[in-house]
Structure 1
Amino acid sequence: MPETLTVHLNREEPRDVAPEVASLETDRSFVLRFVNHGGPLHVHLHFDEALDAVAQPSATQVYVDEEATRDVEITIPLGHGPAKGYVDLVTGYGAQEARLNVTVTAERKDGGPEVAVDETLAEKQTVETDPGGGTAEGARNLVLAAGGVVVAAAVALAVSDSLALVVGVLALLAGVAAAAYLLFV
């Protein structure tokens, strides 16, 4: 789950922008959560060149409605290099500005893998097979399918005198026989 940094808007005065902290050190994507305490407001995000090389924001022009909260995800791709830069958070056509210093580290801060993997993933999985080489469940399914085809063929032949139907049923039975042969050989 990405880290979340809250940025308060309109808390002290109109168009005020105030991140909870002045700097962030991260090794992965993070979220800027804009919490608006007043009237509607536009926030512009400006990344410096160093941070812009590794950060991919979901939006750089953010509208936050009156008394609303809006999240903007800043994606840091896997395999990124380290970067140290800043993002300026600007409101009121440049009248108010706050700077958030961001350090992106190349290695995970917790030292763990990028994706949590259970130890059982490395264990070899075994499947029960019958002496003929096929799986027991596969043999049972094949017998049920063959029985269904035989019943359907008998009903179709009893109801219709069509030669095409007889040929189709024989082809279907041949397919079931071929599948049985391949399953057990």
Structure 2
Amino acid sequence: MPERLSVHLNRDNPRDLQPEAASLETDRSFVLVFENHGGPIHVHLRLDDALAAVSEPAATQVYVDEGQTRGVEVAIPSDHPPTKGYVELSTGYGAEQARVNVTVTAERKDGGPDVAVDDSLAEKSGPDDDGESVALADVALPTAAAAAVVVVAAALTVSISDSIAMLVGVLALLGGVGVAGYMLRA
């Protein structure tokens, strides 16, 4: 996950730039998070030659609306050489400026891979099998079939004589018991 550095805009004065830290040491890509505390503002980013040789910002002109927070990633490839440089931030056509010194190290600070992977990731995971859980797909088709049988039986019962209606009702009851048995077995 990229490291983050917040930069507060318009906090004390219009066009004000206040990075939370004057320097950043990283071994990977990082994100400058612009938090605007005032009116809309444009921020310009410029990397010095040393830092520009090993990284690339997602944007160099950033518009941050009133009360908005916006992040800009500065991408650094995994095979980068170590370097020191800076990101210069400016607002108000250069009237306000701030600089963040950046040290890009070759080795990981935490000594691990780019993505920390726990051994439990290799284990198959699924829903908790307590023996009683049933998926919706397992219930939907038999339920729809049982409902169709009941509707057909009701329609036949209304339209035919009493003795045949009794037979259709019994068949519908047996069909419902069959579906219930199937559901209990599954």
TM-score tier by shorter-chain length is 0.5 to 0.7
Distance 1:99 1:111 in 2: 28
Distance 1:44 1:86 in 2: 14
SS at structure 1 position matched to 2:80:
coil
Distance 1:40 1:68 in 2: 9
Match of 2:157 in 1: none
Cα distance change of structure 1 residues 39 and 110 upon mapping to structure 2, 3 Å threshold: same
TM (norm. structure 1) is: 0.63
RMSD of aligned C-alpha atoms?
Answer: 1.7
Flag structure 1 segments of 5+ consecutive residues without an equivalent. 123-185
Distance 2:9 2:116 in 1: 36
Opposite residue 57 of structure 1, the aligned amino acid is P
Q: How does 1:104-119 map to 2 (within 5 A)?
A: 104-117=104-117
1:46 aligns with 2:75: no
Cα distance change of structure 1 residues 82 and 39 upon mapping to structure 2, 3 Å threshold: same
Match of 2:97 in 1: 97
Match of 2:73 in 1: 73
TM (norm. structure 2) is: 0.62
Q: How does 1:19-30 map to 2 (within 5 A)?
A: 19-30=19-30
Opposite residue 38 of structure 2, the aligned amino acid is G
Distance 1:95 1:72 in 2: 21
Distance 2:93 2:121 in 1: 54
Distance 1:49 1:37 in 2: 31
Match of 1:13 in 2: 13
Q: How does 1:102-141 map to 2 (within 5 A)?
A: 102-117=102-117
Distance 1:66 1:121 in 2: 42
Flag structure 2 segments of 5+ consecutive residues without an equivalent. 123-186
Match of 1:174 in 2: none
Q: CA deviation at 1:111?
A: 1.1
Distance 2:71 2:121 in 1: 35
Distance 1:83 1:110 in 2: 18
Opposite residue 26 of structure 2, the aligned amino acid is T
Q: CA deviation at 1:52?
A: 0.3
Question: After the TM superposition, which parts of structure 1 deviate over 6 Å for at least 4 consecutive aligned residues?
Answer: none
